[in-house]
Amino acid sequence: MKFKRTLATMMVVIFAASIVRFPILSIGTISESDDEWSMVIDGESLELLPELEEYSWVLDRPPYNPYDKIGLHRLVKSGGEPVGVIFIFSGTWSSGEQIVSDDVYCKALKAIDAGEDKIEETRNKVETRSITHYLALRGFDVYTMDYRTHFVPNTYTQNELKFMKSWGWKMYMEDAELAIDKAKEISGADKLFLGGESFGGILAMNYASVHWEEDLEGIVLLDGGSGGKPESLLPIPLPLALLKVIVYTVLRFYAMDVAGDNGPVLNFIFPLLPKLEEATGIEISIPLLNTYRVSHYSEVAEYALAHPFDPPIDPVTGKPLEPQYNDVTGEPIANYLEWAAYIQYESGTTNLYEGYNDEEALAFVAITFDRYWPLQAYLEYFSDTTRIGYESDSGKWNKDYYNFYAHYKEIDVPLIAFVSDFGLGFFGEYDPGIANQDVTGYTYPDFNHLDVYTGTYNPEMINEPTYQWLIDHL
Protein backbone atom coordinates (compact mmCIF):
# COMPACT_ATOMS: atom_id res chain seq x y z
CA MET A 1 0.00 0.00 0.00
CA LYS A 2 2.77 2.42 0.94
CA PHE A 3 4.64 1.59 -2.28
CA LYS A 4 1.52 2.21 -4.34
CA ARG A 5 0.96 5.59 -2.71
CA THR A 6 4.62 6.53 -3.16
CA LEU A 7 4.48 5.52 -6.80
CA ALA A 8 1.26 7.46 -7.25
CA THR A 9 2.86 10.50 -5.66
CA MET A 10 5.82 10.31 -8.01
CA MET A 11 3.51 9.86 -10.98
CA VAL A 12 1.53 12.91 -9.90
CA VAL A 13 4.72 14.89 -9.72
CA ILE A 14 6.11 13.65 -13.01
CA PHE A 15 2.85 14.22 -14.86
CA ALA A 16 2.36 17.61 -13.30
CA ALA A 17 5.90 18.52 -14.19
CA SER A 18 5.65 17.14 -17.68
CA ILE A 19 2.40 18.67 -18.75
CA VAL A 20 2.43 21.33 -16.12
CA ARG A 21 5.51 23.26 -15.64
CA PHE A 22 6.86 24.93 -12.62
CA PRO A 23 6.86 28.69 -12.60
CA ILE A 24 10.16 29.97 -13.79
CA LEU A 25 10.66 33.40 -12.48
CA SER A 26 12.17 36.15 -14.47
CA ILE A 27 13.71 39.35 -13.32
CA GLY A 28 11.82 42.33 -14.59
CA THR A 29 11.59 46.02 -13.93
CA ILE A 30 8.77 46.98 -11.59
CA SER A 31 7.49 50.52 -11.94
CA GLU A 32 6.78 52.52 -8.82
CA SER A 33 3.31 53.37 -10.11
CA ASP A 34 2.33 49.72 -9.59
CA ASP A 35 3.14 49.94 -5.89
CA GLU A 36 -0.22 51.14 -4.59
CA TRP A 37 -1.35 48.67 -1.99
CA SER A 38 -4.89 48.95 -0.62
CA MET A 39 -5.57 47.81 2.94
CA VAL A 40 -8.34 45.23 3.29
CA ILE A 41 -7.98 44.12 6.93
CA ASP A 42 -6.53 46.47 9.53
CA GLY A 43 -5.42 44.64 12.63
CA GLU A 44 -8.47 42.46 13.30
CA SER A 45 -8.10 39.89 16.07
CA LEU A 46 -8.55 36.28 15.06
CA GLU A 47 -11.66 34.73 16.55
CA LEU A 48 -9.95 31.53 17.69
CA LEU A 49 -6.70 33.20 18.70
CA PRO A 50 -7.60 36.76 19.72
CA GLU A 51 -4.03 37.51 20.80
CA LEU A 52 -3.09 37.47 17.11
CA GLU A 53 -3.88 40.36 14.75
CA GLU A 54 -4.40 39.95 11.02
CA TYR A 55 -3.65 42.59 8.41
CA SER A 56 -4.04 42.29 4.65
CA TRP A 57 -3.49 44.37 1.54
CA VAL A 58 -4.22 43.92 -2.15
CA LEU A 59 -2.35 45.24 -5.18
CA ASP A 60 -3.52 45.46 -8.81
CA ARG A 61 -0.98 44.18 -11.33
CA PRO A 62 -0.53 44.57 -15.10
CA PRO A 63 -2.32 43.94 -17.41
CA TYR A 64 -5.05 44.84 -14.88
CA ASN A 65 -7.71 42.24 -15.62
CA PRO A 66 -10.02 41.58 -12.66
CA TYR A 67 -7.86 38.63 -11.57
CA ASP A 68 -4.53 40.43 -12.00
CA LYS A 69 -4.07 41.07 -8.29
CA ILE A 70 -1.84 39.88 -5.49
CA GLY A 71 -2.49 39.97 -1.77
CA LEU A 72 -0.25 40.41 1.26
CA HIS A 73 -1.14 39.03 4.71
CA ARG A 74 0.45 39.78 8.04
CA LEU A 75 -0.05 37.86 11.29
CA VAL A 76 1.46 39.35 14.44
CA LYS A 77 0.97 39.06 18.18
CA SER A 78 -0.65 42.11 19.70
CA GLY A 79 1.49 44.15 22.08
CA GLY A 80 5.23 43.96 22.33
CA GLU A 81 7.97 44.05 19.71
CA PRO A 82 8.34 41.13 17.24
CA VAL A 83 11.45 39.01 17.74
CA GLY A 84 11.96 38.54 14.01
CA VAL A 85 10.34 38.63 10.58
CA ILE A 86 9.53 35.70 8.29
CA PHE A 87 7.79 35.59 4.91
CA ILE A 88 6.29 32.23 3.86
CA PHE A 89 5.30 31.34 0.29
CA SER A 90 2.38 28.87 0.18
CA GLY A 91 2.16 25.93 -2.19
CA THR A 92 0.21 24.88 -5.28
CA TRP A 93 -3.52 25.71 -5.02
CA SER A 94 -2.84 27.40 -1.70
CA SER A 95 -2.90 31.07 -0.72
CA GLY A 96 -1.83 33.45 1.99
CA GLU A 97 -5.41 33.74 3.19
CA GLN A 98 -5.67 29.97 3.54
CA ILE A 99 -2.64 29.65 5.82
CA VAL A 100 -3.33 32.79 7.91
CA SER A 101 -7.10 33.16 8.34
CA ASP A 102 -9.15 31.16 10.83
CA ASP A 103 -12.45 31.90 9.05
CA VAL A 104 -12.94 28.39 7.67
CA TYR A 105 -12.65 26.82 11.11
CA CYS A 106 -15.02 29.36 12.65
CA LYS A 107 -17.62 28.79 9.92
CA ALA A 108 -17.52 25.04 10.45
CA LEU A 109 -17.75 25.39 14.23
CA LYS A 110 -20.78 27.66 13.93
CA ALA A 111 -22.39 25.32 11.41
CA ILE A 112 -22.33 22.41 13.85
CA ASP A 113 -23.12 24.59 16.89
CA ALA A 114 -19.90 23.38 18.48
CA GLY A 115 -19.53 23.20 22.23
CA GLU A 116 -16.57 24.56 24.16
CA ASP A 117 -14.67 21.25 24.04
CA LYS A 118 -14.83 21.14 20.24
CA ILE A 119 -13.87 24.82 19.95
CA GLU A 120 -10.89 24.22 22.23
CA GLU A 121 -9.84 21.17 20.19
CA THR A 122 -9.95 23.21 16.98
CA ARG A 123 -8.13 26.12 18.58
CA ASN A 124 -5.37 23.77 19.66
CA LYS A 125 -4.96 22.43 16.12
CA VAL A 126 -4.69 25.91 14.64
CA GLU A 127 -2.20 27.21 17.20
CA THR A 128 0.05 24.14 17.12
CA ARG A 129 -0.14 22.71 13.60
CA SER A 130 -0.20 25.87 11.48
CA ILE A 131 3.32 27.21 10.98
CA THR A 132 2.08 30.79 10.55
CA HIS A 133 0.09 30.79 13.79
CA TYR A 134 2.75 28.83 15.66
CA LEU A 135 5.46 31.38 14.86
CA ALA A 136 3.23 34.43 15.33
CA LEU A 137 2.20 33.26 18.80
CA ARG A 138 5.89 33.04 19.69
CA GLY A 139 6.63 36.57 18.65
CA PHE A 140 7.45 36.46 14.96
CA ASP A 141 6.06 38.99 12.51
CA VAL A 142 4.70 36.59 9.87
CA TYR A 143 3.91 37.50 6.24
CA THR A 144 2.59 35.56 3.28
CA MET A 145 0.98 36.37 -0.05
CA ASP A 146 -1.97 35.54 -2.26
CA TYR A 147 -0.86 34.65 -5.77
CA ARG A 148 -3.00 35.81 -8.70
CA THR A 149 -4.64 32.37 -8.67
CA HIS A 150 -6.50 33.45 -5.52
CA PHE A 151 -8.43 36.08 -7.47
CA VAL A 152 -9.57 33.95 -10.41
CA PRO A 153 -13.33 33.23 -10.24
CA ASN A 154 -13.87 29.55 -9.50
CA THR A 155 -16.48 29.13 -12.22
CA TYR A 156 -14.18 29.26 -15.26
CA THR A 157 -13.82 26.48 -17.83
CA GLN A 158 -10.46 25.48 -19.30
CA ASN A 159 -11.22 27.53 -22.40
CA GLU A 160 -11.62 30.62 -20.24
CA LEU A 161 -8.23 30.05 -18.60
CA LYS A 162 -6.08 30.66 -21.67
CA PHE A 163 -4.70 33.81 -20.07
CA MET A 164 -2.76 31.56 -17.70
CA LYS A 165 -0.42 30.65 -20.57
CA SER A 166 1.55 33.77 -19.62
CA TRP A 167 1.62 33.00 -15.88
CA GLY A 168 5.15 31.68 -15.64
CA TRP A 169 8.20 32.37 -13.52
CA LYS A 170 8.60 35.91 -14.77
CA MET A 171 5.24 36.86 -13.31
CA TYR A 172 5.71 34.93 -10.07
CA MET A 173 9.09 36.48 -9.41
CA GLU A 174 7.96 40.05 -10.01
CA ASP A 175 4.86 39.59 -7.83
CA ALA A 176 6.94 38.02 -5.05
CA GLU A 177 9.43 40.86 -5.11
CA LEU A 178 6.66 43.43 -4.65
CA ALA A 179 5.16 41.49 -1.74
CA ILE A 180 8.50 41.05 0.03
CA ASP A 181 9.39 44.71 -0.46
CA LYS A 182 6.07 45.68 1.12
CA ALA A 183 6.66 43.30 4.04
CA LYS A 184 10.07 44.87 4.64
CA GLU A 185 8.52 48.32 4.52
CA ILE A 186 5.77 47.44 7.03
CA SER A 187 8.05 45.58 9.43
CA GLY A 188 10.97 47.98 9.13
CA ALA A 189 13.29 44.99 8.66
CA ASP A 190 16.28 45.25 6.36
CA LYS A 191 16.30 41.49 5.95
CA LEU A 192 13.88 38.66 6.74
CA PHE A 193 13.68 34.89 6.80
CA LEU A 194 12.07 33.33 3.73
CA GLY A 195 10.06 30.12 3.92
CA GLY A 196 8.32 28.03 1.30
CA GLU A 197 5.78 25.22 1.34
CA SER A 198 5.87 22.84 -1.64
CA PHE A 199 5.85 25.04 -4.79
CA GLY A 200 6.61 27.92 -2.44
CA GLY A 201 9.93 26.26 -1.65
CA ILE A 202 10.95 26.41 -5.30
CA LEU A 203 9.83 30.03 -5.39
CA ALA A 204 11.86 30.73 -2.23
CA MET A 205 15.02 29.18 -3.68
CA ASN A 206 14.60 30.97 -7.00
CA TYR A 207 14.02 34.24 -5.20
CA ALA A 208 17.07 33.62 -3.02
CA SER A 209 19.24 32.95 -6.06
CA VAL A 210 18.65 36.57 -7.07
CA HIS A 211 18.01 38.48 -3.83
CA TRP A 212 19.66 36.59 -0.96
CA GLU A 213 22.28 39.25 -0.35
CA GLU A 214 19.97 42.25 0.06
CA ASP A 215 16.81 40.59 1.43
CA LEU A 216 17.40 37.38 3.36
CA GLU A 217 18.58 36.19 6.78
CA GLY A 218 17.89 32.54 6.08
CA ILE A 219 15.73 30.03 4.18
CA VAL A 220 13.14 27.54 5.50
CA LEU A 221 12.05 24.80 3.07
CA LEU A 222 8.89 22.99 4.20
CA ASP A 223 8.83 19.99 1.86
CA GLY A 224 9.71 22.46 -0.84
CA GLY A 225 13.12 21.29 -1.99
CA SER A 226 16.30 19.52 -0.96
CA GLY A 227 18.35 22.68 -0.54
CA GLY A 228 20.25 22.01 -3.74
CA LYS A 229 19.67 22.17 -7.45
CA PRO A 230 16.48 20.48 -8.70
CA GLU A 231 16.84 16.98 -10.03
CA SER A 232 16.27 16.47 -13.74
CA LEU A 233 13.13 14.34 -13.97
CA LEU A 234 13.97 12.93 -17.42
CA PRO A 235 17.31 12.13 -19.07
CA ILE A 236 16.42 13.88 -22.34
CA PRO A 237 15.80 17.58 -23.02
CA LEU A 238 12.18 18.61 -23.52
CA PRO A 239 11.94 21.95 -25.33
CA LEU A 240 9.38 24.33 -23.91
CA ALA A 241 7.90 24.94 -27.35
CA LEU A 242 7.15 21.21 -27.69
CA LEU A 243 5.53 21.01 -24.27
CA LYS A 244 3.34 24.00 -25.03
CA VAL A 245 2.14 22.43 -28.29
CA ILE A 246 1.26 19.19 -26.49
CA VAL A 247 -0.45 20.81 -23.53
CA TYR A 248 -2.05 23.92 -24.98
CA THR A 249 -2.71 23.00 -28.61
CA VAL A 250 -3.37 19.25 -28.44
CA LEU A 251 -4.79 18.81 -24.94
CA ARG A 252 -6.29 22.32 -24.66
CA PHE A 253 -5.26 22.24 -21.04
CA TYR A 254 -4.19 25.52 -19.37
CA ALA A 255 -4.50 25.07 -15.62
CA MET A 256 -4.70 22.27 -13.09
CA ASP A 257 -8.26 22.31 -11.78
CA VAL A 258 -9.12 21.02 -8.31
CA ALA A 259 -12.65 20.35 -9.55
CA GLY A 260 -11.35 17.99 -12.24
CA ASP A 261 -11.99 19.91 -15.48
CA ASN A 262 -8.73 19.19 -17.27
CA GLY A 263 -9.75 20.01 -20.82
CA PRO A 264 -11.71 17.97 -23.37
CA VAL A 265 -9.04 15.38 -24.16
CA LEU A 266 -8.13 14.48 -20.57
CA ASN A 267 -11.76 14.69 -19.50
CA PHE A 268 -12.46 11.97 -22.06
CA ILE A 269 -9.47 9.80 -21.10
CA PHE A 270 -9.68 9.85 -17.31
CA PRO A 271 -13.05 8.04 -16.93
CA LEU A 272 -11.69 5.19 -19.07
CA LEU A 273 -8.74 4.47 -16.79
CA PRO A 274 -10.58 2.30 -14.20
CA LYS A 275 -11.86 0.07 -16.99
CA LEU A 276 -8.36 -0.18 -18.43
CA GLU A 277 -6.98 -1.10 -15.00
CA GLU A 278 -9.64 -3.77 -14.60
CA ALA A 279 -8.95 -5.23 -18.04
CA THR A 280 -5.15 -5.28 -17.71
CA GLY A 281 -4.72 -5.80 -13.98
CA ILE A 282 -2.21 -2.93 -14.00
CA GLU A 283 -2.60 0.02 -11.68
CA ILE A 284 -2.43 3.26 -13.66
CA SER A 285 -1.43 6.19 -11.51
CA ILE A 286 -2.25 9.43 -13.28
CA PRO A 287 -2.01 12.75 -11.51
CA LEU A 288 -4.80 15.23 -11.24
CA LEU A 289 -7.03 12.41 -9.99
CA ASN A 290 -6.47 13.86 -6.53
CA THR A 291 -9.12 16.41 -7.46
CA TYR A 292 -12.72 16.47 -6.33
CA ARG A 293 -14.13 15.60 -9.75
CA VAL A 294 -17.30 17.59 -9.18
CA SER A 295 -19.33 19.62 -11.63
CA HIS A 296 -20.47 22.23 -9.12
CA TYR A 297 -17.28 22.98 -7.25
CA SER A 298 -18.31 26.28 -5.67
CA GLU A 299 -21.60 24.94 -4.42
CA VAL A 300 -20.03 21.75 -3.03
CA ALA A 301 -17.28 23.63 -1.18
CA GLU A 302 -19.73 26.09 0.33
CA TYR A 303 -22.19 23.37 1.32
CA ALA A 304 -19.44 21.20 2.80
CA LEU A 305 -18.32 24.01 5.10
CA ALA A 306 -21.88 24.56 6.28
CA HIS A 307 -22.63 20.83 6.69
CA PRO A 308 -19.26 19.11 7.35
CA PHE A 309 -20.78 16.00 8.94
CA ASP A 310 -23.50 15.41 6.33
CA PRO A 311 -23.27 12.63 3.72
CA PRO A 312 -21.32 14.04 0.76
CA ILE A 313 -23.66 14.96 -2.07
CA ASP A 314 -23.65 17.52 -4.85
CA PRO A 315 -26.14 20.06 -3.45
CA VAL A 316 -27.16 21.09 -6.97
CA THR A 317 -28.02 17.62 -8.31
CA GLY A 318 -28.56 15.75 -5.05
CA LYS A 319 -26.32 12.92 -6.32
CA PRO A 320 -23.65 11.31 -4.13
CA LEU A 321 -20.12 12.59 -4.66
CA GLU A 322 -17.45 10.23 -5.95
CA PRO A 323 -15.78 8.27 -4.56
CA GLN A 324 -18.62 6.86 -2.46
CA TYR A 325 -16.59 4.15 -0.72
CA ASN A 326 -13.47 4.22 1.40
CA ASP A 327 -11.24 1.33 0.29
CA VAL A 328 -9.24 1.52 3.51
CA THR A 329 -12.17 1.11 5.91
CA GLY A 330 -14.31 -0.90 3.49
CA GLU A 331 -17.27 1.32 4.39
CA PRO A 332 -19.26 4.00 2.55
CA ILE A 333 -17.81 7.47 3.04
CA ALA A 334 -19.86 9.01 5.84
CA ASN A 335 -19.46 12.78 5.49
CA TYR A 336 -17.75 15.64 3.69
CA LEU A 337 -14.75 15.65 6.01
CA GLU A 338 -13.98 11.99 5.30
CA TRP A 339 -14.62 12.50 1.60
CA ALA A 340 -12.20 15.43 1.23
CA ALA A 341 -9.53 13.78 3.38
CA TYR A 342 -9.82 10.41 1.62
CA ILE A 343 -9.23 12.06 -1.76
CA GLN A 344 -5.99 13.51 -0.43
CA TYR A 345 -4.98 10.07 0.85
CA GLU A 346 -5.71 8.46 -2.51
CA SER A 347 -3.62 11.12 -4.22
CA GLY A 348 -0.58 10.10 -2.22
CA THR A 349 -0.23 13.38 -0.33
CA THR A 350 -0.96 12.16 3.23
CA ASN A 351 -0.40 9.07 5.35
CA LEU A 352 -3.72 9.67 7.04
CA TYR A 353 -4.55 6.07 7.91
CA GLU A 354 -1.11 5.43 9.37
CA GLY A 355 -1.89 8.08 11.99
CA TYR A 356 0.06 11.00 10.53
CA ASN A 357 -2.93 13.27 10.01
CA ASP A 358 -6.67 13.48 10.68
CA GLU A 359 -9.72 13.95 8.52
CA GLU A 360 -10.74 17.33 9.88
CA ALA A 361 -7.35 19.00 9.44
CA LEU A 362 -6.98 17.64 5.91
CA ALA A 363 -10.51 18.50 4.86
CA PHE A 364 -10.27 22.13 5.94
CA VAL A 365 -7.11 22.51 3.87
CA ALA A 366 -8.48 20.68 0.84
CA ILE A 367 -11.83 22.46 0.75
CA THR A 368 -10.17 25.90 0.83
CA PHE A 369 -7.72 25.37 -2.02
CA ASP A 370 -7.91 27.87 -4.86
CA ARG A 371 -9.48 26.07 -7.79
CA TYR A 372 -6.92 26.69 -10.57
CA TRP A 373 -3.17 26.55 -10.89
CA PRO A 374 -1.36 27.57 -14.12
CA LEU A 375 0.55 24.92 -16.01
CA GLN A 376 2.93 27.42 -17.52
CA ALA A 377 5.23 27.69 -14.53
CA TYR A 378 5.54 23.92 -14.28
CA LEU A 379 6.18 23.55 -17.99
CA GLU A 380 9.02 26.04 -17.75
CA TYR A 381 10.47 24.23 -14.75
CA PHE A 382 10.27 20.83 -16.42
CA SER A 383 11.78 22.11 -19.64
CA ASP A 384 14.57 23.99 -17.91
CA THR A 385 15.59 21.16 -15.58
CA THR A 386 15.90 18.70 -18.48
CA ARG A 387 18.08 21.11 -20.48
CA ILE A 388 21.70 20.03 -20.80
CA GLY A 389 23.79 22.30 -18.61
CA TYR A 390 20.81 23.68 -16.65
CA GLU A 391 22.82 23.65 -13.43
CA SER A 392 25.26 26.14 -14.92
CA ASP A 393 25.13 29.01 -17.37
CA SER A 394 26.62 26.81 -20.06
CA GLY A 395 24.64 25.60 -23.03
CA LYS A 396 21.74 27.27 -24.75
CA TRP A 397 19.65 29.60 -22.60
CA ASN A 398 17.35 31.78 -24.68
CA LYS A 399 14.82 32.67 -22.03
CA ASP A 400 13.40 35.97 -20.87
CA TYR A 401 14.01 35.06 -17.24
CA TYR A 402 17.00 34.33 -15.04
CA ASN A 403 18.66 30.91 -14.90
CA PHE A 404 17.99 30.50 -11.19
CA TYR A 405 19.27 26.94 -10.91
CA ALA A 406 22.76 27.90 -12.02
CA HIS A 407 23.01 30.32 -9.09
CA TYR A 408 21.67 28.25 -6.18
CA LYS A 409 25.28 27.44 -5.33
CA GLU A 410 25.96 31.16 -4.69
CA ILE A 411 23.28 31.55 -1.98
CA ASP A 412 25.14 32.43 1.21
CA VAL A 413 22.59 32.40 4.03
CA PRO A 414 21.71 29.60 6.51
CA LEU A 415 19.10 27.04 5.43
CA ILE A 416 16.86 24.47 7.07
CA ALA A 417 14.87 21.90 5.07
CA PHE A 418 12.19 19.33 5.91
CA VAL A 419 11.64 16.53 3.40
CA SER A 420 8.77 14.02 3.39
CA ASP A 421 8.23 10.85 1.36
CA PHE A 422 6.59 13.05 -1.28
CA GLY A 423 9.56 15.41 -1.26
CA LEU A 424 11.98 12.52 -1.67
CA GLY A 425 10.12 11.45 -4.82
CA PHE A 426 10.03 14.92 -6.31
CA PHE A 427 13.10 16.79 -5.07
CA GLY A 428 15.35 13.93 -4.06
CA GLU A 429 17.21 13.39 -0.81
CA TYR A 430 18.30 16.29 1.36
CA ASP A 431 21.37 17.60 -0.44
CA PRO A 432 22.15 21.26 0.23
CA GLY A 433 24.06 22.85 -2.60
CA ILE A 434 24.39 26.44 -1.47
CA ALA A 435 27.50 28.44 -0.52
CA ASN A 436 26.64 28.71 3.17
CA GLN A 437 27.72 25.72 5.26
CA ASP A 438 25.18 26.39 8.04
CA VAL A 439 22.59 23.94 6.74
CA THR A 440 20.18 21.69 8.64
CA GLY A 441 18.03 18.92 7.23
CA TYR A 442 15.24 16.69 8.53
CA THR A 443 14.04 13.76 6.44
CA TYR A 444 10.76 12.10 7.44
CA PRO A 445 10.00 9.20 5.06
CA ASP A 446 6.91 8.26 7.11
CA PHE A 447 5.42 11.70 6.56
CA ASN A 448 3.69 12.59 3.33
CA HIS A 449 3.29 16.03 1.80
CA LEU A 450 0.31 17.45 3.69
CA ASP A 451 1.48 15.82 6.92
CA VAL A 452 4.28 18.39 6.98
CA TYR A 453 1.74 21.22 7.12
CA THR A 454 -1.19 19.90 9.18
CA GLY A 455 -0.06 16.54 10.49
CA THR A 456 -0.42 14.87 13.86
CA TYR A 457 3.29 15.15 14.63
CA ASN A 458 3.74 18.50 12.94
CA PRO A 459 4.09 20.58 16.17
CA GLU A 460 7.10 18.74 17.62
CA MET A 461 8.75 17.59 14.37
CA ILE A 462 8.25 20.59 12.08
CA ASN A 463 7.07 23.74 13.82
CA GLU A 464 9.13 23.62 17.02
CA PRO A 465 12.42 22.78 15.21
CA THR A 466 11.68 25.62 12.78
CA TYR A 467 11.06 28.05 15.64
CA GLN A 468 14.21 27.04 17.50
CA TRP A 469 16.28 27.30 14.31
CA LEU A 470 14.92 30.79 13.65
CA ILE A 471 15.69 31.90 17.21
CA ASP A 472 19.22 30.54 16.92
CA HIS A 473 19.74 32.50 13.69
CA LEU A 474 18.42 35.90 14.72
Cβ atoms within 10 A of the Cβ of 340, count?
26
Distance CA 446, CA 92 (A): 22
Query: Before 323, cis peptide (omega within 30)?
Result: yes
Mark residue 80 as left, alpha or beta (left: phi above 0; alpha: psi -120 to 50; beta: remaining): left
Rounded-to-5 percentages of helix, strand, coil across the chain: 45, 15, 40
Confidence of residue 157 (pLDDT cuts 50, 70, 90): very high
What type of residue sits at position 470? L
For helices 103-111 and 297-306, the axis angle rounded to 10 degrees is 60
What would the CATH number be for the domain defined by 18-235+374-472?
3.40.50.1820
Give yes or no for residue 188 having a pLDDT over 60.
Answer: yes
CA angle 317, 318, 322 (to 5 degrees): 90
CA angle 449, 271, 269 (to 5 degrees): 90
- More confident site: 442 or 398: 442
Confidence of residue 396 (pLDDT cuts 50, 70, 90): low
Give yes or no for residue 95 having a pLDDT over 80.
Answer: yes
* pTM, entire model: 0.90
| Mean pLDDT confidence for 360-376 | 93
Instruction: Return the pLDDT at 394.
Output: 61
Instruction: Write the pLDDT tens digit of every residue in 50-86.
Output: 999 999 999 999 999 999 999 999 999 999 899 999 9
Residues in the chain: 474
| Mean pLDDT confidence for 9-34 | 35
Give yes or no for residue 143 having a pLDDT over 80.
Answer: yes
Instruction: Return the pLDDT at 388.
Output: 79
Instruction: Return the pLDDT at 59.
Output: 98
Cβ atoms within 10 A of the Cβ of 455, count?
26
Distance CA 463, CA 423 (A): 17
The values of phi and psi at residue 367, to 5°, are -70, -20
Instruction: Return the pLDDT at 27.
Output: 34
In DSSP notation, 64-120 reads --TT-EEEEEEEEESSS--SEEEEEE--TT--HHHHH--HHHHHHHHHTT--HHHHH
Instruction: Return the pLDDT at 1.
Output: 39
Q: Are 147 and 172 in contact (CB under 8 A)?
A: yes
